[in-house]
Amino acid sequence: MCGFAGIINFDGAPAERNTLDRMGSSLFHRGPDDSGTHVDKSVGLAFRRLSILDLSPAGHQPMVSHNGNFVMVFNGEIYNYVELRRELEGHGCRFRSSGDTEVLLEAYAVWGKDCLPKLNGMWAFLIYDKQRGVVFGARDRFGVKPLYYYRYANGVCLASEIKAIRASGLYHDDVNWQSVSKFSVQGRLDESEETFYRGITQVAAGSAFEVSVSGEWKQWAYWSLADLPQVETKDPVLQFRDLFEDAVRLRMRSDVPLGICLSGGLDSTAIICSVARLKSALSSGGQEQLLAFSYMAPEFDERLYIADTLARTHAELRQLETSPTDLWDDLQKFLWFHDEPVHSMTAMIGYKLMQLASKNGVKVVLNGQGADETAAGYFSYFADYWRTLVMDHHPIVAWREIGRYQASHGGSRARVFLNAGKEAIQWRMRHSQLYGSLSKWKKGSDSKDNKWFQPEFVRFAPEDELDGLDGRLDSSLKRSVSKTPLPIFLRVEDRNSMAHSIEARLPFLDYRLVTLLFNLSAEWKLSGPLNKFILREAMRERIPESVRTRQDKMGFPTPIGQWFRTSLFKQMRDVLMSQEARERGIYNVPEILKDFERHQEGRIDASQRLFNVAQLEMWHRMLKKPLEVQG
C-alpha cells in the first residue's frame, strides 16, 4: 500500500526530477517508510512506500526487473502472491524479495497483460516496458486502489491522488462545473471517471492501458460484471462460506499488525469472527491480541451486539471518542486528503477510526465494504426483488415474500404488492420514446426547482442516466457496484486509511466471492425480512446469533441533523453568512438560510444538503491555498 506518480513527455523532453519530487512529496501520507525516483529520458516515476510485506530494502520501489527491461511502481496488495510465486518459479523466475511487488513485476515479464486475470487483490500500477517504449498500467477489478491522469499538450502525468497532479506544476486548477453541480444539486459523486477538476480523470475500475513514449494511448476493460463466468452452485452456503473464509485468510497476510473496524453489523462481525478463528487455528502458543475499533453515537447504541462479538472473539475494543466540533474542526484537513467532497459526515468517522488504529500501532485494517452492494444489504433492494418477481411472472411468490417482510416490519401487504406491480409496468414502459421524454422532462423540472443554487449553476448538472437498469434486482446490484454507491465508498475507504498511513483490506470484494454472488438467484440474497440471506446462512454458528438475525442497519451513523440544530449551528451559519459564500455566485443564500431556520426549528431535515454546502464551500477555499503536505 503506497502512493506513486509518473510523467511521460511525448515530445522526448527529459522528465524533470524536481517535478517528480514535488508529486511524490504530496503523497507522503501514503508512504512514510521509504521513497524512490526513477528517470529514464522522457519517462519518470516517483514512489512513496508503506511497508506491509517484506519490510526489508528488497521491497524498494520503483522496482527494476532482473534484466533491467521493466520498471514498476505499484500501490496495493496481490493477496495470492505466494501461489503466483510458486507458479512463476516453475517458469524459471528467481526472486530477491519475499513480498508481492516482485511477484507482480515478474508476472508481467512472463505473461504480459495476461497477468491481470491471475491476480487476486487490489492494485494500481505502472510498468515501464523499456524495450517496447510503452508504459503499461492497470487498476483492480472494483477500483479499490485509485489512479488518476492528466493529459497535457506534450505528455501525461499519472498519480495515486489528484493532489499529486496539482503539485506537478503541469496542471493549473480548473473547476469541472458539471461534476460540482451534479454533487451540489443531485448529491451524486464518483459515478463516472470525471472529477471535480477539469481535465483530471480516473482510470476506470477493471481496466488497463498502454501509453507509448510518443503519445499513443490504448485503454481496455479486462474485467466486467457483464461478462462473468458461469459458476456451478450445488451448495451455495458451503461455497460462500469457504470462499469468504479464504478471502479473509489471504487478506491476513501481513508482516505488520492488523485490526478490524467493528460495528454491530453483520459484515464486520463476520470478518472479525473469521479472523479470530483463523488466528486460533494458526496460533502456536501465545496469540497476538486482536484489536477492534468502533464508534457509537449515544443516539445509535450497538453495545449489545458488539459485546456478543467481543465475547466470542476475545478481541480488545478501542472505542473512538469524538464530538461534533472535533469533526468540524477537522473538515478542512479531511477534504485535503480526499481532494473532493464526500457523501456524508459518516465518512469522517471512518477517518477518525483509522487515526485511532494508527495510534494503536495498527498498519492493516480489515473492513466490510462491498457486502451491501453484492449481497443486497440495503433496504431499497427489497422493492427491487419484489418487482423482479412480478416482472418474471411470479406474483404468488411476490405476495408471499412481501407478507413475510410486512410481518416483521409492519405495513399493508396489499399496498406494497400493488406498488410492485405498478413499478413493473413503469419499467416496461421506459423503453417507449414518449415515457422517456416525459421522464427526462420531469427530472429537468425537479432540478430547476432546486432553490438553493443559481439557475445557471443548476443547469450544469447532467441527467441521471439509468444505463443498464431494467428494473430487476440483478441490474440494481450491478449498478451499485459499478456506479453508485460503491465507488464513492471505496474512495472514502482509501483516503481515510491512507491519510493515517494504514492499508484497508476488503474481504467481501474478493472477485471469486463476487462472481459466486452474481451467479446466485435473487432468493439467496433476500428472503422475507432478511437481506444478505446467503451471508446469514453461511455464518450460522460462526457469529453471535444476535447479530446474524439482526434486521436493522446502522454502520457508524452520526446524528448530524441534531448537530446542525445545536453544536454546529453557529459554524454552519458562519459558512452561509461568509463573504466568500455570498460572492461565490452559485448559492441562493437567502433560500438556504430560510431552510436552515426551518431545520433548526425541526420542521424539515436539511442536514445532508447543509453538509454538502459546507464541504463545497471549504473545497472552493482550499483551491486558493498553496498545496502543502498535511501532517
Q: What are the tens digits of pLDDT across the range 75-110?
A: 999 999 999 999 999 999 999 999 999 999 999 999
Residue 169 located in a structural domain: yes
| Residues 350 and 315 placed together within one structural domain of the fold | yes
Residue 370 located in a structural domain: yes
Question: CA torsion sign, 27 to 28 to 29 to 32?
Answer: positive
Mean pLDDT of 47-71: 91
Given pLDDT bands bounded at 50, 70 and 90, which one contains residue 296?
confident
Q: Encode pLDDT of 550-597 as tens digits.
A: 988 766 678 899 999 999 999 999 999 999 999 999 999 999 999 999
Place of cell 458562519: 574
Determine contact, residues 138/78, Cβ cutoff 8 Å. Answer: no
Given pLDDT bands bounded at 50, 70 and 90, which one contains residue 287?
low
| Residues 366 and 218 placed together within one structural domain of the fold | no
Residue 229 located in a structural domain: no
Helices 380-391 and 395-409: crossing angle, nearest 10°? Answer: 160
Q: How many whole angstroms separate alpha carbon 256 and alpha carbon 195?
A: 34
Q: Edge-to-edge, what's the strand order for the sheet holding 43-49?
A: 34-40, 43-49, 2-9, 155-159, 148-152, 200-202
Q: Which residues contact 566 (CB under 8 A, 6 or more apart)?
A: none
**Residue 461: left if φ>0, alpha if ψ -120 to 50, beta else—which one?**
beta
Q: Does 436 have pLDDT greater than 90?
A: no
Number of structural domains in the chain: 4
| Amino acid in position 421 | G
Percentage of residues in the chain having pLDDT higher than 70:
94
SS3 204: coil
Residue 24: what pLDDT? Answer: 97
Place of cell 491480541: 289
User: What does the block give as the cell for 538?
Assistant: 453461511
Residue 283: what pLDDT? Answer: 65
Given pLDDT bands bounded at 50, 70 and 90, which one contains residue 441?
very low
Q: Which residues are paired to 343 by β-bridges? A: none
Phi, psi of 338 (to 5 degrees): -85, -20
Phi, psi of 223 (to 5 degrees): -155, 145
Q: Which residues contact 426 (CB under 8 A, 6 or more apart)?
A: 435, 471
Place of cell 422517456: 436
DSSP state of 630: -
| Residues 366 and 344 placed together within one structural domain of the fold | yes
| Residues 50 and 186 placed together within one structural domain of the fold | yes
Q: Does 625 have pLDDT greater than 90?
A: no
DSSP string, 526-575: -BTTBSSHHHHHHTTTTS-HHHHT-----SS---HHHHHHTTTHHHHHHH
| Residues 610 and 495 placed together within one structural domain of the fold | no
User: What does the block give as the cell for 302?
Assistant: 450497538
| Residues 326 and 452 placed together within one structural domain of the fold | no
CATH number of the domain where residue 498 is located: 3.40.50.620
Residue 463: what pLDDT? Answer: 73
Q: Encode pLDDT of 123-151 as tens digits.
A: 999 999 999 999 999 999 999 999 999 99
| Residues 39 and 157 placed together within one structural domain of the fold | yes
Cis peptide before 341 (omega within 30 of 0): no
Max CA pair span of the chain: 72
Q: How many whole angstroms separate alpha carbon 182 and alpha carbon 64?
A: 43
CB atoms closer than 10 angstroms to residue 108: 20
| Residues 79 and 213 placed together within one structural domain of the fold | yes
| Residues 455 and 430 placed together within one structural domain of the fold | yes
Given pLDDT bands bounded at 50, 70 and 90, which one contains residue 628?
low
Q: Does 428 have pLDDT greater than 90?
A: no
Q: Which residues contact 559 (CB under 8 A, 6 or more apart)?
A: 297, 299, 300
Residue 440: what pLDDT? Answer: 52
Last residue in a domain, options 476, 497, 522: 476
Most confidently predicted of 1-10, 277-286, 423-432: 1-10
| Amino acid in position 594 | K
Helices and strands of the chain, counted as H and E runs: 26, 17
Domain containing residue 287: 236-375+485-548
Residue 240 located in a structural domain: yes
Residue 554 located in a structural domain: no
| Residues 370 and 388 placed together within one structural domain of the fold | no
Query: How far is residue 124 from each of residues 106, 142, 208, 609, measured CA to CA in Å?
Result: 16, 11, 10, 33
| Residues 452 and 470 placed together within one structural domain of the fold | yes
Percentage of residues in the chain having pLDDT higher than 90:
85
Residue 231 located in a structural domain: no
CB atoms closer than 10 angstroms to residue 280: 12
Q: Encode pLDDT of 193-247 as tens digits.
A: 999 999 999 999 999 999 999 999 999 999 999 999 999 999 999 999 999 999 9
Residue 172 located in a structural domain: yes
Q: Does 379 have pLDDT greater than 80?
A: yes
| Residues 143 and 261 placed together within one structural domain of the fold | no
Q: Which residues contact 191 (CB under 8 A, 6 or more apart)?
A: 182, 483, 484, 487
Last residue in a domain, options 165, 194, 223: 223
Mean pLDDT of 394-422: 95
The H or E element containing residue 6 is strand 2-9
Last residue in a domain, options 177, 192, 223: 223
Residue-averaged pLDDT of the chain:
93
Residue 555: what pLDDT? Answer: 60
Q: Which residues contact 390 (CB under 8 A, 6 or more apart)?
A: 398, 420, 421, 424
Determine contact, residues 24/37, Cβ cutoff 8 Å. Answer: yes
Q: Encode pLDDT of 576-589 as tens digits.
A: 999 999 999 999 99
Q: Which residues are paired to 510 by β-bridges? A: none
| Amino acid in position 371 | A
Residue 606 located in a structural domain: yes
Q: Does 629 have pLDDT greater than 50?
A: no
Q: How far is CA 555 from the centre of its chain?
A: 15
Q: How many whole angstroms separate alpha carbon 233 and alpha carbon 240?
A: 10
Higher pLDDT, 592 or 443: 592
Query: How far is residue 626 from each of residues 163, 164, 354, 420, measured CA to CA in Å?
Result: 11, 13, 26, 53
Q: How many whole angstroms separate alpha carbon 247 and alpha carbon 510?
A: 6
Q: Does 606 have pLDDT greater than 80?
A: yes
Residue 630: what pLDDT? Answer: 44
User: What does the block give as the cell for 262?
Assistant: 467493528
Given pLDDT bands bounded at 50, 70 and 90, which one contains residue 23?
very high
SS3 292: strand
Q: Does 327 have pLDDT greater than 90?
A: yes
CATH number of the domain where residue 163 is located: 3.60.20.10
Given pLDDT bands bounded at 50, 70 and 90, which one contains residue 262?
very high
Mean pLDDT of 65-71: 94
Q: Which residues are paired to 2 by β-bridges? A: 49
Q: Does 443 have pLDDT greater than 70?
A: no
CA-nearest of 239, 225, 120 to 516 is 239
Cis peptide before 626 (omega within 30 of 0): no
Mean pLDDT of 356-382: 97
Q: Encode pLDDT of 452-510 as tens digits.
A: 999 999 988 887 666 668 999 999 999 999 999 999 999 999 999 999 999 999 999 99
DSSP string, 483-527: TSSHHHHHHHHHHHHHTTT-EEE-GGG-HHHHHHHHHS-GGGT-B
| Amino acid in position 105 | L
Phi, psi of 500 (to 5 degrees): -115, 20
